[in-house]
A and B are shown apart, each in its own frame.
Chain A
Amino acid sequence: MLKLIAALLSVPAAGLALVASTGVMVVDVQEGGPGATRIVVPVPLLLAQAVASLAPVPAPRIDAPELERHLPAVEAVLDALAAAPDAELVRVEEPGERVVISKAGAVLQVRVRERGDEVAVDVPLRAARRVLRSLHGGRLDAAELIAALRSARGVRIADVKDGGDRVRITVW
């Protein structure tokens, strides 16, 4: 009997281990105010990547010829930044507003504070480069985007505080 229970438990345990080892994106949405709800959605990235690869729908098109033209330069700048030491790259301060872009390790940190609202976005440089490469041809490859997220594990890619509401997206 014990062997049977162990065998039955090993299946979901192995599934969880597989999901954990191949990356999970956790979207955590928390509403502010009394009686607020909190929704936590774990998205197994391997599964999402497989669905995106097999889905018969056409990849979303990004019509940005300006961006397309400057992609090689943006990629080269990202490479140069990756090789540079950590530093605060841009700081813009205006009354009630602050934007700071820094390079910390292999991550580009964007911090925006505007009155009560705060946005923190961490862009892993390697993942950003991968996404940019997938943009060639003006088409965003969803599977490639998810693959880039899988290469950015352990990073909280977004943390947005809007009044009492908060959204956090973390890749594990």
Chain B
Amino acid sequence: MRARVMALVAVAGALGLQAAPAAAQNATAWVHVRVEEAGKGSKVNVNLPLPAVEAALAFAPPDTFSRKHIQIGGKGQVTLADLRRVWKELEAAGDTELVSVEEADQKVTVARQGTWVQVRVSSKKETVRVDVPVTLVDALLSGTGEQLNVRGAIDELRKLRGDIVQVRGEDSTVRVWIDERS
């Protein structure tokens, strides 16, 4: 009897796990931004349906997403072409640290951890945590030349749920996440 119940729970769990991503893709995704500055006593909350963000981006001028270089840390720069090449080479490498920049006043690391790319910036004044799914980076870098494929990235954002950016500064915090609640 106990084994039968356990089997039923396992089947239900497996079905639930399979149903969850499908539900996530059907419901409207909302992008949330919270900015708090304790010193000034100010709070900014922005909640936007992803289709509205997509609509705005659809009319952005073509050069909006053109980047010759990606800034990493204060002085470090990587060309988009180099980033694409490195990303392709590291695609099959598994978990690894992709970039590490150590300067006098801050440390920046970009690492791949499972299905996530983790960007960490730490300095005396602030800590930045950015977690981006590998599929999102794949989509973003799937553009050609100096173009980032932001529209492809938006398609990936539709499937994403949870925190994307967290910044904890000396006096301020920023959080960006996606869920299905308005």
The answer to whether A and B assemble together is yes
Residues in A lying within 8 Å of B, measured CB to CB = 70, 72-73, 76-77, 79-81, 83-95
Asked if residues A72 and B41 are in contact (CB atoms below 8 Å), the reply is no
Asked if residues B51 and A84 are in contact (CB atoms below 8 Å), the reply is yes
A101 nearest CB across to chain B (Å): 9
Residue B44 CB within 8 A of the other chain: yes
Set of chain A residues within 8 Å of B56, measured between Cβ atoms: 73, 76-77
B43 nearest CB across to chain A (Å): 5
Chain B 57-73: CB-based contact to A (< 8 A → 1; otherwise 0):
01110000000000000
Residue B104 CB within 8 A of the other chain: no
Asked if residues B182 and A85 are in contact (CB atoms below 8 Å), the reply is yes
B152 nearest CB across to chain A (Å): 19
User: Would you give 20 A-B contacts (Cβ < 8 Å), ordered by A?
Assistant: A70-B59, A72-B59, A73-B56, A73-B58, A76-B59, A77-B56, A79-B55, A80-B51, A80-B55, A81-B52, A84-B51, A84-B52, A85-B182, A88-B45, A90-B46, A91-B45, A93-B44, A94-B40, A94-B41, A95-B42
Taking chain A's interface residues, is the majority helix, strand, or loop, or is none over half, making it mixed? mixed
Query: For A72, A73, A80, A85, which residue has the most chain B Cβ atoms within 10 angstroms?
Result: A80
Partner of B48 from the list A76, A83, A89 (CB cut-off 8 Å) is A89
Chain B 2-28: CB-based contact to A (< 8 A → 1; otherwise 0):
000000000000000000000000001
Partner of A77 from the list B42, B44, B55, B182 (CB cut-off 8 Å) is B55
Chain B 145-182: CB-based contact to A (< 8 A → 1; otherwise 0):
00000000000000000000000000000000000001
A89 to B182, CA, bound (A): 8
Residue B47 CB within 8 A of the other chain: yes
A90 to B48, CA, bound (A): 8
Residue B97 CB within 8 A of the other chain: no
Given A77-B52, A79-B55, A84-B28, A89 and B60 contact (CB-CB distance below 8 Å): no
Set of chain B residues within 8 Å of A94, measured between Cβ atoms: 40-42
